[in-house]
């Protein structure tokens, strides 16, 4: 998207199935192939000559970016001035389309830079990010608060019914007018100056939080001295931990790096309870206290956001954000979260009782003292309970989920069957890190669709989590096809070891590829309406739906093959895998809802209610208690000090979007199954009605045209085990009383 547009920080689509750092690397590793040079060598004003205008990573230097930003800012400022001072009366072409055409240099440098600082940063890029952020904020304010420019946009908006615009042109005009108003274009001059000051501060605090969180997460990695403590971990995970320790100069030891989430995946397998507790406590104490404290940054951001919302005429920041989404109001979001939280936590407490019985039984058998179930015990004993109930052992299944098979015979296979896509690896194209792979994608008729880069492995200089974003946006205006990237954080095993995945990672691969398809299939005229540039609570819909193919029997049979023998996943084991997918959904749903409720709690306060840093965790605890989700055994998926989505990832007041989109995703899964599942007709229909449309129409309209009706919450409730069947009692059905609207 053109770089002056408001939207997700760094263009990231952060996803809920998050993983952490494990691969050895240094935080000062070069993000691109060339080192910093005395003079910039790359000219961002020219489109790349590579296929699809892919970034020429082998020609880029860290030192190219700051001059590139300056050139882009200067260029766009001149373009904007020319539009604002155009003596001709405003027209759609000389104002709105001209805005779309402006800032190409700045767009290019911003998108490339933001992706690199998220995926493969270093000290030089971190410094540039801090230096450039306030300049970009000031630049955006200069555009959206320009009275002459807004006067032209407003005049066109007010005359829109007489302009003879087609649907996409009209949509673009309305979006621009909305963006100007939400940026403060109608405020008084004095209030605009106050708003500019707030924007400047926030622009500096966001990258500071991102960089501080990366440092504190790395600093809290747990060092293990004895191999015996790692009993239960699979060999490839132990090898990865040894490799990570060696990279830190800790030869003969093991380093357990932290994922971005509260719970850590190793807790499901480690038998040593003391080590489980140590890892859990390392996770939840990130960002609290020096060094690398995030609490001061967070409380300051919360106050500034509340002040910003008040200036713009909203009672709180959540009201401001949600006014431009499908949810529309905090009340609608609160009701959705509350209606789901009650049955989810009730189910979680029942599961906790079962786990406690298992703990007590083990203690009796071993003649030891029983202990009370704690958060660091949940996944370990849930695994045992799963084994007892379903006779399913994740360790038994993991050899059948080798990365290459999952990618080519799973993710790519499903896309081929459903949409007719084919894939060709392009090792000839430069990448920014040696493990990144690039694939060219073709439509069923052989025509080119775009490029996807896959950056699957964890590194200490890489943001935690999983996400998709664009390097190049599709648009007919510029005759461009999309170049996208999928990022995960899979622990990279030692040299020669297979990359064997748990099913969470498998599902995450399909999830992120759903985002990628949304960007790649885009067939819009304008970048602002392209691909994933949709409402925050609609953007997760294609990815949530695409997860269904990970467990689809036909797709599963195609990719789940033993990495050594090639043997297909035995039918009995596949049946167990599918049967356990609903198991422990109460934990997953409750921890997610607790985090979403925390997000709303922070952003539904006014400035006077924001706590000081030392009271931050008290504020969090009170918010969870008030919402009735203060169940100690199931902590929030993210505690406030390391909640990257809302303090550094563009989901502030919007983390609820996952569950909002999940309703649509569950409906689409049902629709697919009722129409023959993995067949081309279904894929072509979804592509035509939703995936190619970007933000060219309201999300509610797009979904209705595909689904044939309004969203139905029941499939999601059944999918998550919160109700047994349609019409059953025991829970309050969620009703989306407000239309889902695109941004």
Reduced to 3 states (helix: H, G, I; strand: E, B; else coil), residue 469 is strand
Pairwise CA distance, residues 576 & 269, whole Å: 19
Task: For residue 486, give the H/E element and its range.
Answer: strand 482-490
Q: Where are the alpha helices (DSSP H) in 409-453?
A: 412-419
CB 533 within 8 A of CB 743: yes
How, if at all, do strands 467-472 and 13-14 pair? antiparallel
Catalytic residue among 201, 512, 540, 719: 512
Tokens matching residue 99: 């805005």
Q: Note the residue count of the chain.
A: 743
The upper half-sphere exposure of residue 207, i.e. CA atoms within 13 Å in the direction of its Cβ, equals: 23
Nearest to 652 by CA among 5, 3, 1, 8: 8
CB 375 within 8 A of CB 348: no
Pairwise CA distance, residues 221 & 256, whole Å: 6
Pairwise CA distance, residues 141 & 6, whole Å: 10
| Phi and psi, residue 329, nearest 5° | -140, 150
Give, as one character, the DSSP assignment of residue 410.
I
Give, as one character, the DSSP assignment of residue 494.
P
List 439's β-bridge partners, or say none: 425, 452
Residues 6+ apart with CB under 8 A from 44: 64, 68, 71, 72, 105, 108, 109
Nearest to 649 by CA among 461, 416, 469, 513: 469
Task: For residue 391, give the H/E element and its range.
Answer: none
Task: Give yes or no for a cis peptide into 291 (omega within 30° of 0).
Answer: yes
Residues 6+ apart with CB under 8 A from 690: 541, 542, 702, 703, 705, 706
Q: How far is CA 449 from the centre of its chain?
A: 23
376-390: b or e for each residue (b if 16 or more CB lie within 10 Å)? Answer: bbbbbbbbebbeeee
Task: For residue 674, give the H/E element and its range.
Answer: helix 657-674
Q: Where are the alpha helices (DSSP H) in 120-262?
A: 123-144, 147-158, 167-182, 189-219, 235-247
Pairwise CA distance, residues 97 & 525, whole Å: 10
Give, as one character, the DSSP assignment of residue 90.
P
In Å, how far are 37, 349, 531, 586, 737 from 373, measured between CA atoms?
56, 11, 45, 16, 39
User: Would you call 512 a catalytic residue per the annotation?
Assistant: yes
Active site residues: 512
């Amino acid at each position: 998207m053109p770089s002056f547009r408001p939207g997700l920080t760094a263009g990231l689509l952060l996803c809920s199935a998050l993983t952490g750092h494990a691969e050895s690397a240094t935080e000062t590793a070069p993000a691109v192939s060339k080192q910093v040079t005395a003079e910039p060598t790359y000219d961002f004003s020219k489109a790349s000559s590579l296929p699809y205008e892919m970034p020429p990573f082998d020609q880029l230097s860290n030192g190219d970016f700051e001059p590139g930003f300056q050139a882009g800012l200067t260029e766009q400022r001149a373009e904007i001035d020319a539009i604002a001072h155009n003596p001709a009366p405003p027209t759609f072409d000389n104002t709105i389309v001209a805005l779309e055409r402006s800032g190409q240099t700045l767009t290019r440098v911003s998108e490339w830079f933001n992706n690199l600082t998220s995926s493969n940063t270093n000290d030089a890029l971190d410094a540039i990010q801090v230096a450039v952020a306030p300049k970009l904020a000031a630049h955006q304010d200069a555009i959206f608060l320009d009275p002459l420019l807004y006067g032209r946009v407003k005049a066109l908006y007010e005359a829109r019914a007489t302009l003879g615009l087609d649907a996409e042109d009209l949509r673009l005009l309305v979006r621009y007018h909305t963006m100007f108003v939400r940026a403060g274009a109608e405020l008084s001059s004095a209030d605009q100056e106050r708003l500019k000051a707030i924007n400047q501060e926030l622009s500096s605090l966001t990258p500071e939080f991102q960089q501080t969180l990366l440092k504190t997460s790395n600093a809290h990695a747990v060092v293990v001295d004895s191999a015996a403590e790692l009993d239960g971990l699979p060999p490839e995970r132990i090898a990865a931990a040894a490799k990570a320790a060696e990279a830190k100069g800790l030869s003969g030891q093991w380093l357990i790096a932290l994922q971005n989430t509260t719970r850590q995946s190793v807790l499901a397998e480690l038998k040593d309870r003391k080590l489980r507790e140590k890892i859990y406590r390392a996770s939840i104490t990130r960002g609290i206290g020096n060094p690398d404290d995030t609490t001061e940054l967070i409380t300051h951001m919360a106050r500034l956001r509340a002040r910003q919302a008040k200036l713009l005429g909203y009672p709180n920041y959540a009201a401001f954000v949600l006014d431009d989404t499908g949810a529309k109001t905090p009340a609608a979001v609160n009701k959705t979260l509350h209606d789901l939280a009650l049955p989810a936590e009730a189910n979680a407490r029942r599961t906790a009782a079962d786990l406690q019985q298992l703990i007590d039984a083990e203690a009796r058998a071993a003649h030891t003292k029983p202990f009370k179930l704690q958060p660091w015990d949940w996944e370990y004993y849930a695994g045992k309970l799963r084994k007892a109930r379903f006779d399913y052992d994740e360790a038994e299944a993991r050899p059948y989920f080798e990365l290459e098979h999952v990618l080519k015979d799973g993710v790519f296979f499903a896309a081929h069957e459903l949409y007719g896509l084919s894939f060709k690896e392009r090792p000839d194209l430069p990448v920014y890190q040696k493990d990144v792979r690039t694939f060219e994608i073709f439509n069923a008729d052989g025509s080119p669709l775009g490029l996807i880069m896959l950056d699957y492995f964890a590194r200490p200089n890489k943001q935690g989590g999983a996400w998709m974003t664009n390097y190049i946006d599709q648009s007919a205006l510029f005759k461009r096809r999309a170049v996208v990237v999928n990022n995960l954080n899979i622990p990279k095993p030692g040299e020669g070891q297979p990359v064997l995945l748990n099913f969470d990672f498998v599902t995450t691969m399909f999830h992120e590829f759903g985002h990628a398809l949304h960007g790649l299939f885009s067939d819009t005229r304008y970048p602002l309406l392209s691909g994933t540039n949709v409402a925050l609570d609609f953007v997760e819909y294609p990815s949530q739906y695409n997860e269904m193919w990970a467990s689809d029997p036909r797709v599963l049979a195609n990719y789940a093959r033993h990495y050594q023998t090639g043997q297909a996943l035995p039918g009995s084991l596949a049946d167990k895998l599918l049967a356990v997918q609903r198991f422990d959904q109460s934990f997953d749903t409750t921890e997610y809802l607790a985090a979403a409720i925390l997000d709303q709690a922070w952003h539904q306060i006014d400035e006077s209610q924001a706590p000081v840093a030392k009271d931050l965790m008290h504020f969090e605890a009170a918010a969870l208690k008030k919402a009735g989700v203060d169940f100690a055994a199931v902590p929030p998926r993210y505690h406030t000090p390391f909640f990257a989505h809302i303090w550094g990832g563009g989901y502030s007041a919007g983390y609820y979007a996952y569950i909002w989109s999940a309703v649509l995703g569950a409906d689409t899964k049902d629709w697919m199954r009722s129409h023959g599942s993995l067949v081309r007709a279904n894929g072509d229909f979804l592509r035509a009605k939703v995936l190619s449309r970007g933000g060219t129409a309201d999300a509610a309209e797009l979904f209705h045209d595909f689904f044939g009706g309004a969203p139905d919450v029941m499939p999601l409730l059944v999918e998550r085990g919160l109700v047994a069947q349609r019409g059953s009692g025991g829970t309050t059905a969620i009703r989306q009383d407000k239309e889902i609207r695109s941004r």
